[in-house]
Amino acid sequence: MSRLVIVSNRVAIPAEGKGLVSAGGLAVAVNEAFSAYEGLWFGWSGEITENPDPEPRLIDRGRVQYAVLDLSPQDYKEYYAGFANRALWPIMHYRVGLGSYSRSDYAGYQRVNRLFARALAKLLEPDDLVWVHDYHLIPLASELRGQGVDNPIGYFHHIPWPGADVFNTLPASGDLLRAIADYDLIGLQTDPDVQNLSRNLIDDMRAIPLGGGSLMVDGRRTRIRSFPIGIDVTGFKEAADKAGTNKVVRETMAGLRTRKLLIGVDRLDYSKGVPERMEAVDCFFASNPDQRGNVVYIQITPKSRSEVPEYEQLSREVNEKVGDINGMLGEPAWTPIQYVTKAYPRPVLAGLYRAARVGLVTPMRDGMNLVAKEYVVAQSADDPGVLVLSKFAGAARQMSEALLVNPYDRFEMAEAIREALYMPREERLARWKPMNERMKREDVDWWARNFMTELENFRTLDRSPPAA
Ligand code: GDG
């Protein structure tokens, strides 16, 4: 059995004696990928220490081994909070004006990628397949190649890849394009992302298209393809079926009485369109005054990246908006927006999705968006709710039966909320069924298997340029 080596910024180590960590998207996806391989998961421990040890700590948990490094306060500030989250994240989400680039942050990003590569290269065996995750680690393959690693290395980019006119505004864009071509396989969420990156490489790196998504860049061959990520459908459905017994879910439903529920679940991030969505809800109540008191909007928004100033700013903006709207519209017996910033266990989310007549998933931009998929699979087949989905989420490409909206247009979103609330059961069913079927087929297992099958091909493929 060959070994799969997964590399990601954060590693989620399960507690002793436990299988899977119940955390979000990446942990579920990674564990799915390990189901067919012996595994090693390599990355940051999540800890920050002065003078961290350059040798990773090794932890064994059954079939999967974990190798983790600590970061220094400077690494954390420059690599993680700085370049990855203040320069790359906004640019990849088309927010050029929000980007904040500094040379020292970029140097820190390169330094940590080199540290990771040096530590990882020593652990690799000739038969290993290496799968790197996300924008924190774009230069990792290039650093590993520099250490003499010749194994197949794949990369999956969880967030959007913008057009070249956006991406090239990043001062380090040329370096990153050169570096990404050192992967054998580059996976993106959607076909438009694939087109953006491929065009960028062709126009700016003189890449030569070889057909079938393969490109020749600087004498190396790389393949770019879309692999839309899915969710653990079976697990999520089960959780939604059982959720009626959960205390938080029961109390929430009792509190609603006959009111209809709109739900939003997002990390507090400006890409998710939370304040814009609140304005749309406000607009809905303004144009549908008869619905005041009949509808409640619950927004669950765990804080994230609070060390990045733009996120602190967003947190204040949302607090203010909730206060304004509730103050203006609310009554002693009715609060239109119930906003919570705690993270809830997945079974609670599943139960609240099931209870909600409308799922509001309206990011300004999103690589995929798993909440949209979770909302759909959590619905019951006899009385499903309606998904209102931003057309700028990668998920919209697999979920065309949702009510697709432009998140920059609060009036359109308000109309979609109205349409969703009044939608007859037959239409709700007709929209839900095909999406639910697609989610079942294109689940997280399908995603991991497709990527790994493709990566396996690079064991035998000749990577050199074709003979002249
Ligand atoms: C990146 C890309 C892409 C949220 N609140 C709670 C909670 N969550 C879970 C959700 C969902 C996950 O977090 C969020 O996933 P998303 O896909 O919505 O967004 P990102 O975190 O931005 O993820 C995204 C994804 O990578 C995968 O490739 O889809 O486009 O940006 O699973 O349910 N989970 C729990 N409590 C909460 O309060 N337990």
pLDDT at 22: 47
Look at ligand 1, atom 1, and give the residue with the nearest C-alpha: 158
Q: Whose CA is nearest to atom 19 of ligand 1?
A: 369
Atom 10 of ligand 1 has which residue's CA nearest to it? 371
Active-site positions read 158, 366
235 CB near ligand 1 (under 6 Å):
no
| C-alpha 247 to ligand 1 mean position (Å) | 23
Would you say the CB of residue 366 lies under 6 angstroms from ligand 1? Answer: yes
Given phi > 0 = left and psi -120 to 50 = alpha, else beta, which region is 371?
alpha
Q: Closest Cα to residue 79, out of 103, 105, 101? A: 105
> Would you state the structure tokens that stand for residue 53, as one six-digit string?
């040890």
pLDDT at 280: 98
| pTM of the predicted protein model | 0.95
For a ligand 1 pocket test, name from 267, 270, 303 the mutation site with the most ligand atoms within 8 angstroms of its C-beta.
Answer: 267
Q: Which of 277, 370, 375, 439 to mutate to test the pocket of ligand 1 (most atoms within 8 A of CB)?
A: 370
What residue ranges of the chain have pLDDT lower than 70?
1, 17-25, 461-468
Distance 442 CA to ligand 1 centre (A): 17
Tokens, residue 51:
């003078």
CB of 372 shorter than 6 A to ligand 1: no
**Do 446 and 440 form a contact (C-beta atoms < 8 A)?**
no
| Ligand 1 within 6 A of CB of 359 | no
Q: How far apart are CA 85 and CA 79, in angstroms?
A: 8
ipTM of the complex: 0.99
User: Could you tell me the two tokens for 147?
Assistant: 């250490």
Q: What is the pairing mode between strands 260-265 and 295-300?
A: parallel
Establish whether residue 3 lines the binding site of ligand 1, counting it when its CB lies within 6 angstroms of any ligand atom: no
Looking at residue 463, its pLDDT comes to: 56
